[in-house]
Structure 1
Amino acid sequence: MEVDYHEYDDGPSRVVIAGLALGFMGGSFFFGKVALVELKPFTVVLGRVGFATIALVILARLLGHRLPCDMRLWGAFFIMGALNNLIPFSLIFWGQTQIASGLAAILNATTPLFTVVLAHLLTEEEKINSGKLMGISLGLVGVIIMIGPETLGGFKLHVVGQMAILGAALSYAFAGLYGRRFRAHPPLVTAAGQLTATTVMMIPIVFMIDQPWTLPAPSPITWGALVALALLSTAVAYVIYFQLLATAGATNLLLVTFLIPVSAILLGVIILGERLDVKHFMGMVLIMLGLAAVDGRLLAYREAIHTKAF
């Protein structure tokens, strides 16, 4: 008999818990920006997934879980690790060397819009309707407002940095759909497995490209940022992420990325002294309106009130 480890709650508390997890993920833009002052992007990725792997493997053993021996499952972990960690983390951290952490978080919020398109193409149960199409259109206009006009001025690193974040969002969207296949496995094991796979893939990349031993030893602030990035924004967040993914649906779960830009912008402005242009906030508003249209619940709530009034 197959055990479903995700049938535990189907109410509003699930969204609250997801919001908490993705709020931690919003902190990843802040912690990553701090770590990037002294470390190179691939090294930050390895530090993030490496420390998180250690924490989750230890926790799994303490709770009586063991990592599986099934080679096919490990193949899936490696694919998930690439889609959900290696590719997006690398693109985001490199992008953050060129743009503010708050702007990176805003662009990352397009993930559900990519998810809607991919879910329509790759699944039978999550098809595009008029509301989702409107949401995608609004989100696209928001992105164009933020980065579109500048691309006409030629090659600029900060424009490439923004495109890198959009590439990360696309990779996250693929991961959100691919991750549904882990429904029958404990969330802690799934998170530990894909992070272990990512760590294995990142080690040779860091040794060949970043060569961190050639850099000065990191300061305590950098070590603290890496540990927070690994434990709060990765280990804790991912356990909840996989717990919720199978029951919330890829599109609905990723809509909680509403919270990521808010926390990232606040941390960036208050602590890092970052400033965003008016066009960035305009783009964020359009992207958020697009997410609300994709979600459909705001429109349904409005229609319900209108119907009740009459």
Structure 2
Amino acid sequence: MVEHAAGTAAERDRDRVGVLLVLIAGVGFGTLGIFGTYAQGAGLSIPTVLLYRFFVATLAVWGVLLAQGRLRLLRGRTLLAAIGLGSFGYATMSGLFFLGLEYMTAGLVAIVFYTYPAFVVLLAVVAVGERVTRTTVVALALALGGVGLVVGADPAGASQTGVAIMIAAALTYAAYITVSRAVLETTDSLLLTAHVLPAAGLTFLVGGSITNDLAIPGTPTAWGILVGVALLGTAIPVFTFFAGLSRIGASRTGIISTAEPLVTVALGVVLFAEPLTLPTVAGGGLILSAVVLLQTA
């Protein structure tokens, strides 16, 4: 009985730590839109922000793996898949996300982007042939209805261009997740991330060099924004997300991660006085309800 109680207590502690770690990840990822808005104000181009983001985050991830004795180079098809995921998938999604901030507030960007879990399910149906369930249909209807409500509530703030960009970002991220699942069947998740991040960074190095959009920050404020994006918005949440995932499982991690857009909306209201209307809240609630429904199905 004593051993059973101790085991139960240990499981509860592990559970609480896992939930806390995923919440920390949600808060960290939720700051990306905020830092992106600050970056625009500081005159930092999208290629500059994302190059530094992925470069610093890569050093952080490699450092941890090296300290753990787990850093190694992927090979063959797995390496090619990781490069493709980073240079095409994650890079495209990140570029679209920050581009969306030029058309909408950080809160609206986060809300529309968070339709991606519904698109993950849709891609599974189309690409993998998973069965279409009533839950899937209801979740997709909730997610798309939420987007419609947000746009209809503030057609000026949620421009059609901005919404289209963020839907494209959500679809790209859904495709990235779908392909990643296959790779992760034989590859450690953090090791895969260690290859995806530099591949994404190299994309912006090459693209920014061609368009002459790269610049070395000239002020402490600009450097602070870039460090914030790389560490608070990328490296730290990557670590805490995977650590939490290993403790509480994928479904609960997905549900708790819905804190991410809520954090962005709250910070946008506090820091930038972004408008928060009842229809916008209702639309965001529909989208998050779709995510929870999919995770608990």
Relative to the length of structure 2, the TM-score reads 0.83
Amino acid at match of 1:226: L
CA drift of 1:142 comes to 1.3
CA contact (8 A) 2:22 2:257 kept: no
CA distance in 2, matches of 1:140, 1:69: 38
CA distance in 1, matches of 2:62, 2:272: 33
The reply to whether residue 57 of structure 1 matches residue 62 of structure 2 is yes
CA distance in 1, matches of 2:170, 2:88: 10
CA contact (8 A) 2:123 2:175 kept: yes
State percent identity of aligned pairs: 24
CA distance in 1, matches of 2:104, 2:218: 22
CA contact (8 A) 1:27 1:263 kept: yes
Residue of structure 2 in register with 1:228 after alignment: 228
Residue of structure 1 in register with 2:101 after alignment: 96
Which of 36, 40, 47 in structure 2 is aligned with 1:42? 47
The reply to whether residue 146 of structure 1 matches residue 150 of structure 2 is yes
CA drift of 1:13 comes to 5.4
CA drift of 1:14 comes to 4.3
Which of 117, 122, 125 in structure 2 is aligned with 1:120? 125
- Segment drifting more, 275-284 vs 11-20: 11-20
CA 1:22–1:79 in 2, change beyond 3 Å: closer, same or farther?
Answer: farther
CA drift of 1:137 comes to 0.6
CA distance in 2, matches of 1:206, 1:257: 32
CA distance in 1, matches of 2:205, 2:28: 25
CA distance in 2, matches of 1:226, 1:257: 24
Gaps spanning 5+ residues in structure 2: where? 1-10
CA contact (8 A) 1:49 1:199 kept: yes
CA 1:254–1:122 in 2, change beyond 3 Å: closer, same or farther?
Answer: farther
SS of 1:67's equivalent in the other structure is coil
Residue of structure 2 in register with 1:239 after alignment: 239
Amino acid at match of 1:26: G
The reply to whether residue 170 of structure 1 matches residue 175 of structure 2 is no
Post-superposition CA distance 1:83-116 (Å, at most 9, x none)? 5520111001111012110111111111111111
Post-superposition CA distance 1:35-78 (Å, at most 9, x none)? 12221122211121111112222222222123315132221111
Amino acid at match of 1:272: F
Residue of structure 2 in register with 1:74 after alignment: 79
CA 1:19–1:174 in 2, change beyond 3 Å: closer, same or farther?
Answer: farther
SS of 1:212's equivalent in the other structure is coil
Residue of structure 2 in register with 1:186 after alignment: 188
CA drift of 1:133 comes to 1.4
Residue of structure 1 in register with 2:263 after alignment: 263
Post-superposition CA distance 1:202-226 (Å, at most 9, x none)? 211111225234xx84432221121
Gaps spanning 5+ residues in structure 1: where? 1-7, 298-310
Relative to the length of structure 1, the TM-score reads 0.79
CA drift of 1:121 comes to 2.7
CA drift of 1:241 comes to 4.2
Post-superposition CA distance 1:127-175 (Å, at most 9, x none)? 4421221111111111122236988x9xx99321222112111111112
CA 1:146–1:55 in 2, change beyond 3 Å: closer, same or farther?
Answer: same
CA contact (8 A) 1:50 1:195 kept: yes
Amino acid at match of 1:174: A
- Segment drifting more, 38-47 vs 92-101: 38-47
Amino acid at match of 2:35: F
The reply to whether residue 110 of structure 1 matches residue 115 of structure 2 is yes
Amino acid at match of 1:160: T
CA contact (8 A) 1:116 1:132 kept: yes
Instruction: Please list every run of at least 4 consecutive aligned residues from structure 1 whose deviation after the TM superposition is greater than 6 angstroms.
Output: none
Aligned-residue RMSD, C-alpha: 3.1
CA distance in 2, matches of 1:179, 1:109: 18
Post-superposition CA distance 1:156-204 (Å, at most 9, x none)? 9932122211211111111222222224433332211110111122211
SS of 2:258's equivalent in the other structure is helix
CA drift of 1:22 comes to 2.4
CA distance in 2, matches of 1:291, 1:189: 27
Residue of structure 1 in register with 2:6 after alignment: none
CA 1:18–1:175 in 2, change beyond 3 Å: closer, same or farther?
Answer: farther
CA 1:171–1:194 in 2, change beyond 3 Å: closer, same or farther?
Answer: same
The reply to whether residue 31 of structure 1 matches residue 46 of structure 2 is no
Residue of structure 2 in register with 1:305 after alignment: none
The reply to whether residue 160 of structure 1 matches residue 161 of structure 2 is yes
